[in-house]
Amino acid sequence: MDNAAETREFLTSRRARISPQQVGLPAHGRRRVPGLRRAEVAQLAGVSVEYYSRLERGDLSGVSDQVLDALARALRLSEDDRTHLEDLARAAGPGRRRRRRAAAASVRPNLQRLLDSMACPAFVLNGRGDVLAANSLGRALYAPMIEAAGGATPNHGRFIFLDPRSRQFWGDWESAADNLVALLHAQAGRDPYDKDLTDLIGELSTRSDDFRTRWAGHDVRQYHQGAKAIHHPVVGTLHLTYESLDLPADGLILFAYGAEPGSDSEDALRILASWAADHVPAPAERSPGRTSSVRQDAHHTDGSPEP
């Protein structure tokens, strides 16, 4: 990932989204591109045009918190946008070539036991969207994604953009795709020197027009709670809520789904749990060649053995 290029494209995209009328400025003359001009952003932020131009060229080194605050106000950045800008500035600062502490590549036994004790579908993810671990109900819910991975670590991005089954699995595929790209953009700002993330973005950009178009939008977002619809091949459509919890010691995320009490989706989760007891094997112990503890061996989601 190129921090300067990401900064340049991010600031340019945010400037293009705001009209002079939105910020109380007169719209003088014909505009070749939409949105504010650099001089107008500089005026709103209270900095010189030359200084803002330097920032938009991608040089955030030494920028102060006060300037970041002024830019956030001038560009009407959301909270997630502002966090992304801070991450980009941090990556451009002193010691920028020092990588953040790498996220754990697997889950601790205590964390797996916590997952297994949960009565809802639960997972542990990293910032790239890899599903590193799950409980039995989680493996059953994500069976199509796990099967698509073919024994490798399931990844949300590869499933959404490279596997046609994802369009049936996610009730709102467009939102799932938008959200995933926004999450990857945010992760790229936090850790632009993550080679695995760079490789993933390169792979998806090369193989998917849908991903490439969304990536050019430079949206960033964090999702801590919300709702999703999932079309499961065994139990049908589930309308679920979700909550996520950061695990700072591991650099990972605990993610869990739930259903409204008394709803059809709650009943469907009970049926799925019963199905999982018969058809979803427990993950084998990790070996040097195994990359995920969520693999389902030799079963399809209809319960039939793999030929």
Q: What does the pLDDT profile of the chain (307 residues) look like in tens digits?
A: 678 888 898 999 989 888 888 888 776 667 777 788 899 999 999 999 999 999 999 888 889 999 999 999 999 998 889 988 988 888 887 654 445 566 777 889 999 999 999 999 999 999 999 999 999 999 999 999 999 999 999 999 999 999 999 999 999 999 999 999 999 988 888 888 889 999 999 999 999 999 999 998 888 887 788 999 999 999 999 999 999 999 988 989 999 999 999 999 999 999 999 998 887 666 654 433 344 566 554 345 554 433 3
Both tokens of residue 34?
């939409």
**The domain made up of 3-92 is a member of CATH 1.10.260.40:** yes
Rounded to whole angstroms, how far apart are CA atoms 271 and 294?
A: 20
Distance between CA atoms of residues 298 and 114, nearest Å: 26
Q: Are 3-92 and 109-279 the same fold in CATH?
A: no
Q: Write out the H or E segment, with its range, that includes residue 232.
A: strand 225-232
* Whole-number Cα distances in Å, 25 to 19, 48, 49, 144, 168: 8, 17, 16, 52, 46
**Sole residue written with tokens 């049936």:** 168
Element (H, E) at 242: strand 236-247
Indicate if the alpha-carbon torsion angle 248, 250, 251, 252 is positive or negative.
Answer: negative
Dist CA 179 CA 192 (whole Å)? 19
Q: What is the pTM of this model?
A: 0.76
Provide the residue ranges of all domains of the chain, joining segments of one domain with +: 3-92, 109-279
Which CATH number applies to 109-279: 3.40.50.1970, 3.30.450.180, 3.30.70.980, 1.20.140.10?
A: 3.30.450.180
Residue at 46: amino acid letter: G
